[in-house]
Amino acid sequence: MTSAFEPTQPDPWMPPQPLPPVRTRTNLWHLFFAGLAGAALVGALWVGLDLAHSGSPSAPGGSSGETFDLRGTFTLNSSGYGYSACGGSGDYSDITTGTAVTVYDAAGTVLSQGALGTGRPDGAGTCVFSLAAPNVPSGEKFYLVEVSHRGRIMVQPEDARAGKVALTLGN
């Protein structure tokens, strides 16, 4: 039986008694093998992920690392150039040797920048320029090619890689 003077719960005015220290013993071999197992697991995951991605098609943006030089022609149907020089005049004065050629991916990210080469006359009022943009990343579903500020034209990857890009401006 409990007396009314014996406390059944700890006295709230008394500070708590510290617990006796717990002695733990860590075996160094356990730590060594746990570290070795962790390193083996990380290595296995790394190799597994690398093998999983090695057979997959390249991701957008050409993550495979392969590149190619986009080549083709740009035909300007205009008038006003002399027989010794080939280039645009009037509304087409921005089209000449060295005019910027920009290649974009579907999202509008610039992939490469090149230029028009020397143009050659090809009939009355027509000038044909070589077109080139180096180191275009492979693996895109399509490419958008823009000469100067004249708008982006969609080009299929097969044509881009084969040098069969043929763009035209003017009537």
In DSSP notation, 98-122 reads T-EEEEE-TT--EEEEEEEEEEEE-
User: What are residue 67's DSSP bridge partners?
Assistant: 137
Please state, in angstroms and rounded to a whole number, the distance separating the CA atoms of residues 124 and 110: 35
The sheet with strand 152-155 has its strands ordered as 152-155, 143-147, 100-104, 110-121, 126-137, 67-77, 165-170
H helix runs in 17-131, sequence order: 28-54
pTM over 0.85: no
Give the residue among 56, 86, 83 at the shortest CA–CA distance from 74.
Answer: 86
Radius of gyration of the chain (CA): 36
Q: Is 77 in contact with 170 (CB distance < 8 Å)?
A: yes
Q: Report the relative pairing of strands 67-77 and 165-170 from DSSP bridges.
A: parallel
**What is the model's pLDDT at position 11?**
67
The pLDDT of residue 90: 79
- CA dihedral over 149, 152, 157, 158, signed as positive or negative: negative
Q: State percent of the chain over pLDDT 70.
A: 75
Residues in the chain, pLDDT under 50:
55-62, 81-84
DSSP single-letter state for residue 16: P
Identify which of 112, 98, 114 has the alpha carbon closest to the alpha carbon of residue 143: 112
Separation of alpha carbons 6 and 45, rounded Å: 63
pLDDT value at position 161?
Answer: 94
